[in-house]
Amino acid sequence: MENLHKVETTPERLAQAETLLWQGQVEATLTLLAGCSTPQAQHFGAYLERHRERLVNYEYYHTAQLCSIGSGAVESTVKQIDRRPQISGAQWKQDNVPQVLAHRCAYLNGSLRL
């Protein structure tokens, strides 16, 4: 979103683009911004094209409360998962690391049944 606001266009178009991106509608956002010929709009359009597979429907995840979508919470979870295989004194066989990470993910997701 921070790069969207660098696009020089009307506030209404920016608001509409923000709503579309929140809903994961990349193609509709590209169509909306196609009328903008500024370099910032072209750069942002190229960014969306490059990362379209990574952009999710944040509204869905937020409404369904399936997981936290804030970058701080996501980064914290990744750090927690990363710490497990690095326990001091632990030795891990390379073949076992995916299983350890899968268990850690299940634990953090609350789906691990003990």
pTM above 0.85, yes or no: no
pLDDT digit string, tens, across residues 39-75:
888 889 999 999 888 787 777 777 777 666 666 766 7
Phi-psi region of 65 (alpha: psi -120 to 50; beta: other; left: phi over 0): left
